[in-house]
Amino acid sequence: MILCFDIGGTAIKGAVAHSPTDVRTLPRVPTPAQDFDAFVGVLARTLAEIGEKPHGIAISIAGVIDPETRAAKVANIPCIDGRLLAADLQAALGLPVLIANDADCLAVAEAGVGAGRGHRIVFGAILGTGVGGGLVVDGRLVNAEGGFAGEWGHGPAIAAYAGTPPVAIPPFACGCGQRGCVDTVGGARGLERLHRLVHDKDLDSERIVADWLAGDAEAARTVGVLIDLVSSPLALTINITGATIVPVGGGLSNCEQLLAEIDRTVRSRTLRRFDRPLVVRGTCRVEPGLIGAAILGLKEFGHA
């Protein structure tokens, strides 16, 4: 049995995993983002409350583990940013600890028990608040030791003009420290930023998507720009990795019409032409981060 956590800046989700298909969720608790002792306390209390000693702890975080230093880079949880997090938690909790990026966990979940089953190369993409991704090849996570593979949302990759007719896209500053990243225009916050750029109006992403589905011309213009900006970097990622399926998670993936338009545009821009859907909605709809962490933890600790 493995104790799993999916840790975000707002909430910590937990689960007890007996197998990749037997992941039993626990109540959510707020994330103590500023206080490491309080952060450890939340995990320790959960460990005590499950009433059974797990073989290890597997954690999904919205951050990256440096494969050389083992330090965590987690911008939205300051108390763990820069720490040797696995070692610190192992010392505090007395159990082996595995930590993986949340997008990597999504990719593992979809490759193992979701939409990527039967595919050798699975690229899991996140279109949520921002943009992320993870790569699984022959059932193995490429970032098994930590690292930055799959981060198609970062790096100066957006086009200078997008949409029909084209609109000029400035190189927006990104939280990663660079400018012009897909993350700045591709997720929910990016959709809102584009609507402000194109129409000088502030609307939240849910309203923009709802208006688009209702036939609103302004929303359609904004969504068209987003699709144009996102599709080329994603097509390039598919060309480089050879992925034959791209399961998508995150809030924007809930709009199947949006994913269908992205899929159609991406398939028109990849070197290999697919006559079937390539960019699809992930099927692990309930906490894919926990499922992915469970699969990784069960393998790591020798129980799967």
SS3 200: coil
Report how far apart, in Å, the C-alpha atoms of 99 and of each of 54, 57, 85, 177 are.
16, 9, 8, 24
- pLDDT tens figures, 143-158: 888 888 899 999 888 8
- Global pTM reads 0.91
Q: What is the pLDDT of residue 10?
A: 86
Q: Indicate the length of the chain as a whole number.
A: 304
Task: Write out 103-146 in H/E/C secondary structure.
Answer: HHHHHHHHHHHCCCCCCCEEEEEEECCCEEEEEEECCEECCCCC
Rounded to whole angstroms, the maximal C-alpha distance in the chain is: 61
The pLDDT of 26-32, averaged and rounded, is 93
- pLDDT tens figures, 260-295: 999 999 999 999 999 999 999 999 977 889 999 999
Q: Which domains does the chain have, with CATH numbers?
A: 2-104+286-300 (3.30.420.40), 118-281 (3.30.420.40)
pLDDT tops 70 at residue 76: yes
- pLDDT tens figures, 88-102: 999 999 999 999 999
